[in-house]
């Protein structure tokens, strides 16, 4: 893909301002969405050699962080903030790759646990090294800028009920 000789988001904001209000919000949200696309594409390309997408990587990391290396699928969905069918799909793919196993919940006959395997733990370690080495696709920003972004976005997440 070739580079444009101008910033298309700036141009969209200019045209937006000729018709409607809310240019700062429109510019910010358009920028956020574009950066999300760029970062996710880069993260997925880093994780592809490990047989992972970012969503699958997040699920494995969540299991690594759990005290027993396993969680009920419903709790995984809550913590990953995704729909239950998405968790099921993610876990099925991880299971097919031998990175997790599904087991019946010992105390709740209706629930299923996802449990990370030793292979899953090894993949998380290797993938995490690659993500850290790539600065999580945000190497163009300093640590101070990264902290500022996180601080700026916290009120939006809180207002949306994220936590």
| Whole-model pTM over 0.85 | yes
Q: Tell which residue, 80, 74, 77, 143, has the closest CA to residue 113.
A: 74
For helices 54-65 and 118-133, what crossing angle results, to 10°? Answer: 120
Could you read off the pLDDT of 8-54 as tens digits, one per residue?
999 999 999 999 999 999 999 999 999 999 999 999 999 999 999 99
Q: Quick: pLDDT tens for 114-151.
A: 999 999 999 999 999 999 999 999 999 999 999 999 99
- Alpha-carbon distances of 98 from 64, 75, 108, 117, rounded to whole Å: 15, 21, 24, 7
Confidence tier at 57 by pLDDT (50, 70, 90): very high
Whether the CB-CB separation of 76 and 64 falls below 8 Å is answered with: no
Integer-rounded Cα radius of gyration of the chain? 19
Report the share of the chain in percent with pLDDT over 90: 93
Helix (H) or strand (E) holding 41: helix 23-47
H or E element at residue 17: helix 8-19
- Which domains are delineated in the chain? 1-40 (no CATH), 51-158 (1.10.10.10)
CA distances from 126 to 68, 120, 140, 150, 162 (A): 21, 10, 23, 26, 30
Taking only the tens place, the pLDDT of each residue in 92-122 is: 999 999 999 999 988 887 889 999 999 999 9
- Give me the helices (H) in 48-142, please: 54-65, 73-80, 84-96, 118-133
CA 156 vs. chain centroid, Å, equals 17
């Amino acid at each position: 893909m070739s580079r444009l000789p101008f910033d298309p988001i700036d141009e969209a904001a200019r045209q937006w301002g000729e018709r409607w209000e809310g240019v700062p919000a429109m510019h910010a949200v358009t920028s956020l969405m574009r950066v999300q696309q760029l970062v996710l594409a880069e993260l997925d390309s880093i994780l592809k050699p490990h047989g992972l997408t970012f969503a699958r990587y997040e699920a494995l990391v969540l299991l690594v962080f759990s005290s027993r290396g396993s969680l009920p699928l419903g709790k995984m969905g809550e913590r990953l903030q995704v729909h239950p069918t998405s968790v099921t799909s993610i876990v099925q793919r991880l299971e097919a790759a031998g990175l997790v196993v599904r087991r019946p919940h010992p105390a709740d006959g209706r629930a299923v646990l996802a449990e990370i395997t030793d292979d899953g733990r090894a993949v998380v370690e290797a993938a995490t090294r690659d993500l850290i080495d790539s600065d999580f696709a945000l190497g163009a920003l300093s640590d101070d800028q990264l902290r500022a972004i996180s601080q700026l976005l916290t009120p939006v997440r809180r207002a949306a009920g994220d936590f």
